[in-house]
Amino acid sequence: MQRVYLEMDKKYYNMKIIRNNIIPFKGYKAMNLFGVLFVRGNARIDDITLNHEKIHTAQIKEMLYVFFYLWYVIEWFIRLPFGNAYRNISFEREAYANQDDLNYLENRKRFDFVKYIKK
């Protein structure tokens, strides 16, 4: 049996997706936990969302998993008084800025999220 993959899947494969009604909280569609995508109910996951989450997987791996979540929470707290903390976290900035480019992960360099800390 032959499977057809997106170009970037050669490098990043398909994500494991777990649909459930608990993670993430109401109001959110999907959450990447250690490279596994938790999707709420039957929320639609398109290529762009998937690309966004795969960018997070790249960040998660290069931050050795635990440091990704530590950094994420710390940066969220730091940015809390200055507008939309979630959208301004460097990991999210990188993911949102490049999610439309389905070849982004092919060209991305390690730790590229650092470029988005000051933007």
Residue ranges in contact with Zn ion by CB under 5 A:
92, 95
Q: How far is the CB of 74 from Zn ion (least distance, A)?
A: 16
Residue at 3: amino acid letter = R
Residue 37 or 95: the one with the smaller Cβ distance to Zn ion is: 95
Q: How far is the CB of 68 from Zn ion (least distance, A)?
A: 11
- Listed in sequence order, the residues at least 6 apart from 30 whose beta carbon sits closer than 8 Å to its beta carbon are 24, 37, 38, 39, 40, 43, 45, 49, 53
Identify the three-state secondary structure at position 96: helix
Q: How far is the CB of 53 from Zn ion (least distance, A)?
A: 7
Residue 6 or 97: the one with the smaller Cβ distance to Zn ion is: 97
Residue 15 or 95: the one with the smaller Cβ distance to Zn ion is: 95
